């Protein structure tokens, strides 16, 4: 099995499900790519927990203003109406349920919606950031991730083996091979790559994939 989506294509697919006007927090790193792929006619309002609301695309190289950064310390631009606020106020927005969606990366996601994305154990470098607040403060939590680890182990599992970020918090997973919902503590397959058989996909998934109705083709552009 060699065909899979790139990180940019996974981010593109996740962006297609963000409603116009939604308040969105993107996790540090890979999830930040989602902001590049807003569908025509729709515009999300992006929040960064270090205190900016309604930031825009990354500036051109050499045009960065390093007073304007996101939580991942990357340079950002501002859109009309952008606002600045104290770190505490930013987390009050998160904890107060004012974000429509948080899109995060993952080391593992369990079929019951548990998320592990901040530590791989004693040998790893822990970096929880605001994720523990986001996963229980946002109205919806989605994950974007490769379907398997670099050494081929499933990242969608029966139960997480790494320290948890949140319990029962994830509702949808966008992977390099499929789109999977979590419903009633089970993985439900919604889309998969057209050339990928269900049997092959199941073989690289660490828990049963349920099929409820028609499974759509996961088709994305070259981005």
SS3 state of residue 37 = helix
Residue 111: closest CA among 157, 65, 179 = 157
| Cβ neighbour number for residue 208 with a 10 Å cutoff | 11
Cα 185 vs. chain centroid, distance in angstroms?
19
Catalytic annotation present for 32: no
CA atoms within 13 A on the CB side of 164: 14
Q: Tell me which of 32, 49, 108, 191 is the catalytic residue.
A: 49
Q: Could you tell me whether strands 178-183 and 23-26 are parallel, antiparallel, or unpaired per DSSP bridges?
A: unpaired
**Dihedral (Cα; 64, 14, 218, 2), 10-degree rounding:** 50
CA distance 31 to 29: 6
Catalytic residues: 49
């Amino acid at each position: 099995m060699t065909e899979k989506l790139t990180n940019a294509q996974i981010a593109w697919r996740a962006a297609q499900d963000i409603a116009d006007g939604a308040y969105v927090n993107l996790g540090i790193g890979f999830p930040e790519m989602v902001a590049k792929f807003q569908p025509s006619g729709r515009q999300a309002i992006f929040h960064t927990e270090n205190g900016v609301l309604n930031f825009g695309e990354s500036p051109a190289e050499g045009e960065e203003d390093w007073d304007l950064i996101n939580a991942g310390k990357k340079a950002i631009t501002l859109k009309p109406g952008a606002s600045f606020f104290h770190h505490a106020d930013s987390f009050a927005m998160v904890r107060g349920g004012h974000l429509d969606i948080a899109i995060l990366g993952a080391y593992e996601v369990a079929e019951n919606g548990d998320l592990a994305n901040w530590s791989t154990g004693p040998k790893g470098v822990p970096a929880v950031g605001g994720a523990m607040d986001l996963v229980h403060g946002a109205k919806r939590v989605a994950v974007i991730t490769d379907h398997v680890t670099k050494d081929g182990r499933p990242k969608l599992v029966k139960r997480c083996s790494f320290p948890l970020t949140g319990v029962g918090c994830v509702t949808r997973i966008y992977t390099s091979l499929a789109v999977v919902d979590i419903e009633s503590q089970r993985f439900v397959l919604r889309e998969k790559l057209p050339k990928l058989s269900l049997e092959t996909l199941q073989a690289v998934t660490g828990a049963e994939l349920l099929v409820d109705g028609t499974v759509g083709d996961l088709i994305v552009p070259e981005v």
